């Protein structure tokens, strides 16, 4: 761990100068208590650094939570092992792609499945309690439940160190969560301008606890967090069904982990109740299960938290980008992507060049940096990868 100053502690051995400066700027906000913790996967983000843990007193910065509210991972450990799987993995990849709508702006045509309807009803009830209508942000929000999105979101069939099969996926609150976040970022910016508050960066605009705007954000953010959780559950149900058809037998869910990495919760740290925003970080309390994915083509990890108090009981959420998407497209080729994905069933397309493993930090180094934050329980290697364009 590196103590950059009294308000910023860093666990990243690979840290770009611009990322360091961004985190230093965030740490100057007057309501930070006691310090910002930079995780090993830290990289440049909107307003606040991705891979940062930000405790605040009496205020929330919506951009420091992130625009994909509740984004996270879910994993299911099955009873099956590698030698029980069919040799050709292409059919299960195609079946998953047919069952789960992929890519930005691609949603379900209708809400027909019983489990989907139950989850939609749950969200409708929660929206009523939160005193808002999600359709005021996105009219088709119901059709977004059970959809993946694009970018670094993925669905995978993986094997652990004992060749046990795990199903693993990464996604968040889709368009509706993004619209909720963007709305409240603008509300915060407008209020800070109205109150003549000088900010080091406009995306560090904040809402003051006790105001109507603050509590409206909290209610709607919590709704989006729950949407993201149910979205992952819904997709996992569909993935399990596709997987069962491929292997010809039912799946026993011997373990299931579902965790956020873009969210805020009230927690007690260093003697005070704070709003703890984890933007690209997972909770890692002592004994708590968590998931840390690598990039496509690299390992992912099932971990247990060590409850490190200085790190605000948090850990990294993945590899963290080393190159922006545009820089990765200029630097890497489709042939390099193919080389990185040897032995993994995936859709071979130019669309994924910006997701090539070399566009990310070395996940092995990230996990080495996280040694005092989490204990690795399982190391997962992909055999099937599904992504949206």
Residues with catalytic function: 317
Pair 380, 164: CB distance under 8 Å: no
List all residues 6 or more positions away from 194 whose beta carbon is below 8 Å from its beta carbon: none
Look up tokens 């993994």; give the residue.
Answer: 344
CA distance 304 to 374: 5
DSSP H or E stretch at residue 191: helix 174-194
**End-to-end CA, the chain:** 37
Strands (E), the chain: 2-5, 8-10, 36-43, 50-56, 59-60, 72-81, 154-159, 164-171, 207-208, 255-260, 262-269, 272-279, 281-283, 289-292, 300-305, 314-316, 374-386
Using CA atoms, how far apart are residues 114 and 258, in angstroms rounded to an integer?
Answer: 21
Beta strands at 50-56 and 272-279: parallel, antiparallel or unpaired: antiparallel
Q: Which two structure tokens, joined as six digits, stand for 271?
A: 């003697």
Q: How far apart are CA 36 and CA 58, in angstroms?
A: 16
Nearest to 315 by CA among 377, 258, 371, 378: 371
On whether the CB atoms of residues 104 and 150 are closer than 8 A, the answer is yes
Three-state SS annotation for 358-386? HHECCHHHHHHHCCCCEEEEEEEEEEEEE
User: Which residues does 167 contact at the CB level (< 8 Å), separation at least 6?
Assistant: 75, 76, 78, 155, 156, 157, 158, 236, 239, 240, 243, 251
Whole-angstrom CA distances from 32 to 25, 61, 151, 277, 322 are 11, 11, 31, 11, 27
- Rounded distance, CA 29 to CA 47, Å? 12
């Amino acid at each position: 761990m590196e103590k950059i100053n009294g308000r910023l502690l860093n666990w990243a051995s690979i840290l770009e100068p611009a990322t360091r400066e961004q985190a230093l700027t965030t740490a100057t906000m007057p309501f930070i208590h006691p310090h910002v913790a930079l995780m090993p996967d830290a990289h440049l983000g909107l307003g606040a650094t991705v891979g940062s843990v930000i405790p605040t007193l009496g205020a929330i910065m919506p951009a420091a939570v992130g625009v994909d509210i509740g984004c996270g991972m879910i994993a299911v450990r099955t009873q099956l092992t590698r030698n029980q799987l069919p040799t050709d993995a292409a059919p299960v990849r195609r079946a998953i792609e047919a069952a789960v709508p992929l890519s930005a702006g691609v949603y379900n045509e209708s809400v027909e499945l019983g489990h989907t309807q139950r989850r939609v009803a749950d969200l409708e009830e929660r929206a009523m309690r939160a005193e808002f209508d999600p359709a005021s942000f996105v009219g088709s929000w119901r059709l977004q439940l059970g959809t993946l999105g694009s970018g670094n979101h993925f669905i995978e069939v993986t094997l652990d160190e004992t060749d046990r099969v795990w199903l693993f996926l990464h996604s968040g609150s889709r368009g509706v969560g993004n619209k909720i976040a963007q709305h409240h970022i603008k509300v915060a910016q407008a209020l800070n301008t109205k109150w003549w508050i000088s900010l080091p960066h406009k995306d560090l605009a904040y809402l003051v606890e006790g105001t109507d705007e603050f509590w409206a954000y909290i209610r709607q953010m919590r709704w989006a967090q729950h949407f993201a959780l149910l979205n992952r559950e819904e997709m996992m149900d569909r993935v399990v069904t596709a997987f069962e058809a491929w292997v010809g037998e039912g799946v026993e869910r011997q373990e299931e982990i579902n965790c956020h990495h873009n969210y805020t919760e009230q927690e007690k740290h260093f003697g005070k109740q704070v709003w703890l925003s984890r933007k690209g970080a997972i909770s890692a309390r002592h004994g708590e299960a968590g998931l840390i994915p690598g990039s496509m083509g690299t390992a992912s990890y099932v971990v247990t938290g060590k409850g490190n108090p200085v790190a605000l009981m948090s850990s990294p959420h993945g590899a963290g980008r080393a190159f922006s998407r545009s820089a990765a497209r200029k630097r890497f080729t489709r042939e390099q992507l193919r080389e990185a994905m040897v032995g993994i069933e995936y859709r071979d397309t130019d669309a994924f060049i910006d997701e090539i493993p070399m566009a990310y930090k070395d996940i092995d180094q990230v996990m080495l940096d996280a040694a005092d934050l989490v204990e690795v329980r399982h190391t997962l290697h992909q055999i099937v990868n599904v992504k949206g364009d």
